Structure 1
Amino acid sequence: MKPCEIAVIVPVYNAAAYLTACTDAIAAQKFDGFRCILVDDGSTDGSPALCDAIAAGDQRFVALHQPNSGVCAARTAGLRQGRALGARWFAFCDADDLYHPDLLDTLYAAVTNSGLPLACCRYDTFADTPPADAAAPENCRILRGPAHLDALLHDHAVDYGLWNKLYAADLLREDMLDNGLAYNEDLLANWRAFLAAPGCAFCDFAGYHYRQHADSASHRALPPQSIDDQRRAAAEIRATAPAALQESVNAFYYEKLVYLASMILRRANADAYRVQLYELQVAIRAGARDPQLGRNPQLPRSIRLSAFLTLHMPRLWRWACRTFLKDRQ
């Protein structure tokens, strides 16, 4: 058994229908110096027994069980277990998703060759049939700071998720993963990690396959707390951004305000969010003429238009949101 070079952390909550496919893809990794830590977060389906069976059948897998505490606590428990196993690098995977067989090998080569503590790749999405695995690249692109921070906020290929990245063990802290948010917790964790890194190695291939289904996180309707959490994440990012990135971060912040307002307006029960919507409208109005916010040259035209409609044509904009923005309803 090789030493644990990479610890792969998989939070598991009622994922029995997808977990075997997920762990089979991890077991098939070309890079075999890994341990996979399955953290059962108080599941009530067959997941606990399945985690134990997978660990019993493959010594590279470890099963942990804890009372239901949320994905942040599960990832943090996995981080502690990975450190106990001597892991020098950490990767993450959601229990319903799939790894490309070259994911760990490619990201590990990228950090090794670049000397950077962070690497990432693109991801793709699927519903029923996983996409074909494209060939992994031999080289990577280096994003030096602050370009890697800008890419985290604006480049969908880099994305907010933890699961398409590889992190040096000394880059991650428990408070990064368990940061007090239930929504956008991955964005805030990544922002803090990226801030601590001098750059990121980007591997241009879809190394992570993100499964979309009715119960997946990207399709669940979000409660009012989600609006508050996302604003908190955006506010911290704005407050801690380096000066060289301030214009870009301000554009990100204002775009987030407008996006969150649209998320509320598309909901049939928008009245349940009236406090959050009022606060967002006040913030959007206050920033409308600000050259750092509503008139920021990096702000997309579509967001400028959305902000105008939010403030000046709210009934029309609500109809448009409910008619055309079907996700998260």
Structure 2
Amino acid sequence: MAPCFSIIVPAYNVEPYLTPCIESVLAQSFGDFEAIVVDDGSTDGTPAVCDKLAQRDDRVVVIHKPNGGLSSARNAGTARARGTYIVYLDGDDWIRDKRLLERCLNAFSGRDVDVLFFDAVKFDEEENVFYRSTLRMEEVFLHFEKRDMDSVSTQLMSSDSFPVAAWKKAYARELLLDDAGELRCPFDENLSYSEDIEWTFRALSRARRVGYVSGSPIVYRLRADSSSLTSTKTLSLKRFSDQIRSIAMMYDRRFDQGWRSETVRAIEGYASYQFYVSLFVTLRLSEGDVEQGRNLLRQHVEWAAKGIGTKAKLSYVVFSVFGYRATPHILGALRQLTILARKLMPVRCARFDGEQSEARGNQ
């Protein structure tokens, strides 16, 4: 009998992290699942850890394959999945909510829901601290009654809160696999990084109604050796170019996915937001790669003018005047001023309120 959930865990050289990751799955209050661990040609002790976990619990299924990258591993795991619902979890992350699958099942059941969104907290391994997500998903879902895919996508993208990560969602099987078990929406194996961006929009274009699971049930590990876009280390040109390519694939297909016009506009706004983020990121490229990074952005300069809202329009004005080199520095300075103003304003307001209260007390 097929399990209710298939949890797909790509694993490449995650020997120190894989056991706690899978243990967080095995600890789920709802036990009708399979955990498909895909060893993607690891060169450390990961393969042995995989086999040990499979011996420990027959719900753990292991696939050993030659190294092909994250997209290849996810495709292999998805093709093997038998569950009614599919969840992705990276091998160095973990589930902190023991009721996540139970809550997902309740949200799926009887509500014609195709996909569930959820958020994560970040764990900085180097600093040994946890961070809240900066996305505003919960706010959108709490205050926005519509639950069709177009409306939710538009709201999330308009608030810079769209979760592109594949592992921030649970999916109904039919979105990803046909009746014969063939992949309907494979990850692009030519992308080594940022594959989630374009894949997510392809996958979700098939969805009708969506839901939300609150509480940030996943922990996303920021590893000490990370060179992700959110780290402070020098970034490789390959990672940067894959990010741009993935955004471009999403953007170029925006009219082909059946999205409503307002969602297409939101996708354009999202591409614009990523254009300016990428401008900042060019500052983290090695000195010899900076100009190549800017040249990649020049190929997609139309994104710069597609922003939505006052902040986006201001960014475009600055970019139009100062160009690729100066804009990230200017926008960075403006951002720091905004942060400083927000820190000062509550103090002034609190002082004013206190003075007012004291004056009323003396009357």
Q: Same fold (TM over 0.5)?
A: yes
What residue in structure 1 maps to residue 274 of structure 2? 256
What residue in structure 2 maps to residue 226 of structure 1? 239
Distance apart, 1:239 and its partner CA: 3.2
Q: Do residues 47 (structure 1) and 46 (structure 2) align? A: yes
Does the residue aligned with 1:176 lie in a helix, a strand or coil? coil
Distance apart, 1:276 and its partner CA: 3.1
What residue in structure 1 maps to residue 289 of structure 2? 272
- Give the distance between the partners of 1:233 and 1:123, measured in 2 at CA: 22
What residue in structure 1 maps to residue 164 of structure 2? 160
Q: Do residues 77 (structure 1) and 61 (structure 2) align? A: no
Does the residue aligned with 1:68 lie in a helix, a strand or coil? coil
Of the two, which has the highest radius of gyration? 2
Q: Do residues 94 (structure 1) and 85 (structure 2) align? A: no
- Give the distance between the partners of 1:204 and 1:142, measured in 2 at CA: 17
What residue in structure 1 maps to residue 249 of structure 2? 236
Superposition map of 1:63-74 within 5 A: 63-74=62-73
Distance apart, 1:187 and its partner CA: 1.7
Q: Measured at CA, do residues 304 and 207 of structure 1 come closer, stay the same or move farther in structure 2, by a change above 3 Å?
A: same
After superposition, give the CA deviation of every residue in 1:17-56 in whole Å (9 maximum; x if it has no partner).
1111111100000111100011101111111000000000
Distance apart, 1:193 and its partner CA: 1.2
Contact 1:107–1:120 (Cα < 8 Å) also in 2: no
Superposition map of 1:297-312 within 5 A: 297=309, 300=312, 303-304=315-316, 307-308=319-320, 311=323
- Segment drifting more, 198-207 vs 174-183: 174-183
Identity of aligned residues (%): 24
- Give the distance between the partners of 2:184 and 2:291, measured in 1 at CA: 32
Distance apart, 1:145 and its partner CA: 2.8
Aligned partner letter, 1:225:
K
Does the residue aligned with 1:215 lie in a helix, a strand or coil? coil
- Give the distance between the partners of 2:167 and 2:296, measured in 1 at CA: 32
- Give the distance between the partners of 1:320 and 1:238, measured in 2 at CA: 24
Q: Measured at CA, do residues 212 and 226 of structure 1 come closer, stay the same or move farther in structure 2, by a change above 3 Å?
A: closer
Contact 1:265–1:318 (Cα < 8 Å) also in 2: no
After superposition, give the CA deviation of every residue in 1:252-277 in whole Å (9 maximum; x if it has no partner).
1122222212211233x143242331
Aligned partner letter, 1:274:
E
Superposition map of 1:1-329 within 5 A: 3-82=2-81, 86-99=82-95, 100-127=97-124, 143-151=147-155, 153=157, 159-173=163-177, 174=183, 176-179=185-188, 180-216=190-226, 217=228, 218-219=230-231, 221-241=234-254, 242=259, 243-267=261-285, 269-281=286-298, 283-284=300-301, 290=305, 293=306, 296-297=308-309, 300=312, 303-304=315-316, 307-308=319-320, 311=323, 314-315=325-326, 317=328
- Segment drifting more, 254-263 vs 152-161: 152-161
- Give the distance between the partners of 2:223 and 2:11, measured in 1 at CA: 16
After superposition, give the CA deviation of every residue in 1:223-257 in whole Å (9 maximum; x if it has no partner).
22333322332233233333232322221112222
Q: What runs of 5+ residues in structure 1 fail to find an aligned partner? A: none
- Give the distance between the partners of 1:102 and 1:306, measured in 2 at CA: 47
- Give the distance between the partners of 2:196 and 2:273, measured in 1 at CA: 18
Give the root-mean-square deviation of aligned CA atoms. Answer: 3.2
After superposition, give the CA deviation of every residue in 1:258-302 in whole Å (9 maximum; x if it has no partner).
2212211233x1432423313424643x566x5xx26x4476366
Count of aligned residue pairs for this structure pair: 308
The normalised TM-score by structure 2 is: 0.74
- Give the distance between the partners of 2:101 and 2:153, measured in 1 at CA: 22
Does the residue aligned with 1:125 lie in a helix, a strand or coil? strand
Distance apart, 1:57 and its partner CA: 0.6
